[in-house]
Structure 1
Amino acid sequence: MWLSYPNQLFLTNLIPHKKLCYDIMDNYPYFRKIRFLKHQLDVMHRKLIDRVDLIFVSSTELYKKLKNKKNIYVIKNAVDMTLFNPFLKYDIPSELENLSRPLVGVVGYVGHWIDLEIIYRSAKIHPKWSFIVIGPIHRNINKYKVDNLYFLGEKKHSELPKYISFFDVCIIPFIKNELTHKVNPVKMFEYLAMNKPVLAAQTEELKRYQDYCYLYSGFKEFESYLNKLIKNPSVKKICNSFLENNSWKKRGKTISTIISKYAK
């Protein structure tokens, strides 16, 4: 049985199974800001870790936290290269059609770990640029209202390539904390597959990708990189082998091989 979140612990007593697999995609307890809820999630998380037969983690930083556990494998995020294809011709989405260029974009869940302040400050400095945020919004954004900062809400995953294709710079504006330091962001691979320059917060996990992303620490460095990339939107060296090695097709084969060893 495949489990992917701590609150699925109760399923282990309800559904008959031969083996249990826990897919740990994030440092789950730190999704919660309220101490009691964080503790509750942590308890379920630890119980699942002790109960399952096989564990997958999505980042090296998550692995370091659990490396003393048995049967744990690092399966990082990846990209569907058929969907995120930079060589296709995309029609510009209606929401972007009349916006002033350049376009600075971020795609993802807008939770407490996203640094909206850094986007807001940059948008105020560059009123002729357009800053685009795509993704479900799960926090108050009223204080970040400025004319050139656009919250477009959630889009279907299949629609994301056409939006990203018109971005001049793609950003990953994480607030650095116990959650984000252990995130291996899937959007990084999708941005890179679309041949876009990526400007990302320098988290512990993202330091491993400094050959592919421009990493910043603080607003001053964010602004410096962003200005350079707008003037010269150069993509760091991306070879086909990097994208091929980080495709979901390849990840699926790896997962299948591992599971087959435990399914007997």
Structure 2
Amino acid sequence: MNKPSGRTNFVITSRQPWEEKQLGSNIRDMARTLSETHPVLFVNEPLDWSSRFSKKSERAQRRDEFIAQNGGRHLIEAQKNLWVLSPKNLLGSINWLPDTGLYDWANRYNGTILSTEIRQAVSELGWKSFVLINDNDMLQGFFLKELLKPAVYVYYLRDNFLAVDFWKRHGARLEPLLMSKVDLVASNSLYLARQAARYNPNSVYVGQGCDLKMFDPSAISEIPADLAAIPKPRIGYAGALTGLRLDGGLIETVARQRPDWQVVLIGATDDSFPTERLNALPNVTFLGAKTPGEIPAYLAAMDVLINPQVLNEVTIGNYPRKIDEYLAMGKPVVAGKTETMALFDQHVYLAENAEQFIARIDDILNGKVLSSPAERIAFAWEHTWENSVGMLTDAIDQLLVSQPQTT
């Protein structure tokens, strides 16, 4: 195995598996970009008892396939300067425990198991020190500062996970404590950065990066057959179809009030989304999930792209990467109004209710737009991972400046 080179080594922990191919991932994109200038060790999501032995879980099967594809190795060089560690040892499934000292003891035990494997990988790579970036995991990451002793510990706050019951059970207590003890909290939205600053004055906004190379309207030469069969005007959405983030009632209202419009929904659905009710409408079409490489061709053939985001604790500070993808295709967009979406108000119509949503779509179809396709594309390309990672490393460098640098 080649030894890494570079000034600062980075270890990244995440609950988003490296082997996941169908969904975009902030932290994987960040790791790839960071590895262009620094050695990076990406720690794959550890498996626990539940994921290994539950018949309903496919995580263990996907992990086994990933390891088999790499000759049974748990530490691989995924690309130049970027290593992926898939921990061997199972962690305890402990989220069901009451939020007491017993949970903390078990959580620290899990952290000890994980940190031991991380230290072994760091030693194999020949690193003497590293910066640790924790991807929004206030549970498994809670004791890593004490157990790993990184040069700098960064908590990457990219979503309000406390709105989800799994994370809230223990995270409501642990996340503020973790943010208080890390060296830096980095957030991808101004809203989340302000929330973090209540617990740690060293909280910074690093923007949001997007990998837009695939989203090139000039490269699209053909409309997908299943979309070409749908008449215009096409009002489209592409992404996960979940009631946690999307307002199914708003989509239904748009479709019912404007039967002359075709509402096209692309993505996998979950049980919280009103799929049956919407599917019963003659002008709503579900095209199912598509691979990331297929998405741009679908976006290119839409007349208006939408993000009917429901406003709740999960989405209030969320940065929707799909908006940059929409704009990179030069398309006009209507989206739900949130604090983060104010960043886009020169190019995206923002609506607070169904009446406004319908009116803004109608405006676009009648030629009333906020900006030209070229302006939308240029704006989207301001939001690169290089810019976001650059802001993050600048903040980290300020913390490291007084420390001796070793590799």
Task: Report the TM range for the smaller structure's normalisation.
Answer: 0.7 to 0.9
- Find the residue that maps to 1:7 and give its secondary structure: coil
Aligned to 1:87: 218
Aligned to 2:252: 120
Aligned to 1:175: 310
Aligned to 1:142: 276
Cα RMSD, aligned residues only: 2.5
The code of the aligned residue for 1:169 comes to V
Aligned to 1:253: 390
- Find the residue that maps to 1:87 and give its secondary structure: helix
Aligned to 1:197: 332
- Find the residue that maps to 1:181 and give its secondary structure: coil
Matched, 1:104 2:202: no
Q: What are the superposed Cα offsets for residues 120-161 of structure 1, whole Å, 9 maximum, x if unpaired?
A: 121123334321222332224222222322233333323221
Aligned to 2:299: 164
- Find the residue that maps to 1:157 and give its secondary structure: coil
Question: How far apart are the structure 2 equivalents of 1:16 and 1:81?
Answer: 35
> Would you say how many aligned residue pairs link Structure 1 and Structure 2?
261
Give the drift of 1:240.
6.5
Name structure 2 gaps, 5 residues minimum: 1-131
- Find the residue that maps to 1:191 and give its secondary structure: helix
Q: What are the superposed Cα offsets for residues 214-264 of structure 1, whole Å, 9 maximum, x if unpaired?
A: 011111111111112123273525266633432223223333333344455
- Flag the 1:261–1:211 CA change in 2: closer, same or farther, 3 A: same
Contact preservation (8 Å) 1:195, 1:235: no
Question: How far apart are the structure 1 equivalents of 2:236 and 2:143?
Answer: 39
Aligned pairs for 1:20-59 (under 5 A) are 20-30=153-163, 32=164, 34=165, 38-59=168-189
Question: How far apart are the structure 1 equivalents of 2:266 and 2:228?
Answer: 15
4+ residue segments displaced more than 6 Å: none
Name structure 1 gaps, 5 residues minimum: none
Give the drift of 1:195.
0.7
Aligned to 1:152: 287
Question: How far apart are the structure 2 equivalents of 1:239 and 1:221?
Answer: 21
The code of the aligned residue for 1:247 comes to T
TM-score (norm 1): 0.86
- Flag the 1:184–1:108 CA change in 2: closer, same or farther, 3 A: same
Contact preservation (8 Å) 1:100, 1:128: no
- Flag the 1:8–1:90 CA change in 2: closer, same or farther, 3 A: farther
- Flag the 1:107–1:235 CA change in 2: closer, same or farther, 3 A: farther
The code of the aligned residue for 2:211 comes to D
